[in-house]
A = this chain, B = another copy of it.
Amino acid sequence: MKFNEPIAVTEIAAFIGATLEGDEKLMATGINEIHKVEPGDISFVDFEKYYDACLRSAATIIIINKKVTCPPGKVLLITDDPFSAYVKLVKRFRPFQPSTSPISDTAVIGEGTIIQPNVFIGNNVTIGTNCIIHPNVTIYDNSIIGNNVIIHAGSVIGADAFYFKKRANREVMYDKLESCGRVIIEDDVEIGASCTIDKGVSGDTIIGRGTKFDNMIHIGHGTVIGRNCLFAGQVGVGGKAHIEDNVILWGQVGVSKDLTIGKGAIVLAQSGVPSSLEGGKTYFGSPVEDARTKMKELSWIKRIPEIWQKLGGN
């Protein structure tokens, strides 16, 4: 997420009550998670084992819970609870804005686009030309929809990321990471009925050009889907996954977070994908394997009684 204008790190430090270490002349231009940071961004780290990765990332301003050596050209904001400081910044610079009408005045809707009754369109949403948005669709603030996009009834674009920090010794155990990312749906995409596509935590969830979703597809925060993919009904994809172009997922496939499915891969129905898959192949099973390997395995299982007999068993 980028700020509307650069903000002095001293102002940031004062706002979150942090001790500043490093170049106090720097300006912050945005907020981002570690895997998405760009120069000028604020990021945060609260586990020692991730310190190095964060300090060596592109982030210019690092909220951290221990005084360490500040890399040149950067600034550390030292505070006991970087997570809460980060959330405080998100709430200040991208606060939730309640809507008073079903379609916000700030929404930009292209020529030839049809918005059916009972649709909700939040603040700062952009919708391209020649789209159809069917009834009872919800489009949260800041979503960007391309041209020739069809979204079927009941779908929800841009709900919050499912992302919490565990606080072991508290009555209410999970702290919400407020998300400030967006959903971007590119041209010529069709989204079926009752799909949910969550916004990114700080970056964008992207559905690539020409991709088609059947009904009840769930896409987690910050996941990037390539072009010309086909997802059948009730597929679920976790957060920050990367599904490359031309991937086909059949019905009820589940895909874990933080992984890549390579270009042109086909995953057969009800399979579960726990880790990255190479492109150009067909997969099956939960956990998923090469489909032919899996089919052979299923045949071998049927031969266990024969093996038992061969051993003289009864």
B300 engages A212 (CB within 8 Å): no
A117 engages B102 (CB within 8 Å): yes
A118 engages B102 (CB within 8 Å): yes
- Chain B residues with CB under 8 A of A190: 176
Q: Which of A98, A114, A172 has the most CB of B within 10 A?
A: A172
A18 to B159, CA, bound (A): 48
Complex interface: stretch among A6-14, A52-60, A192-200: A192-200
B210 engages A174 (CB within 8 Å): yes
Number of copies: 3
- Chain B residues with CB under 8 A of A187: 172
- Chain B residues with CB under 8 A of A308: 300, 303, 307
Q: Is A30 an interface position by the 8 A CB rule?
A: no
Nearest chain B CB to A149 CB, angstrom units = 12
- Chain B residues with CB under 8 A of A256: 251, 269
Nearest chain B CB to A230 CB, angstrom units = 7
- Chain B residues with CB under 8 A of A116: 98-99, 120
- Chain B residues with CB under 8 A of A98: 114, 116
Partner of A252, one of B194, B220, B236: B236
Nearest chain B CB to A126 CB, angstrom units = 18
A216 to B195, CA, bound (A): 9
Nearest chain B CB to A229 CB, angstrom units = 10
Nearest chain B CB to A186 CB, angstrom units = 10
A307 engages B301 (CB within 8 Å): no
Q: Is A228 an interface position by the 8 A CB rule?
A: yes
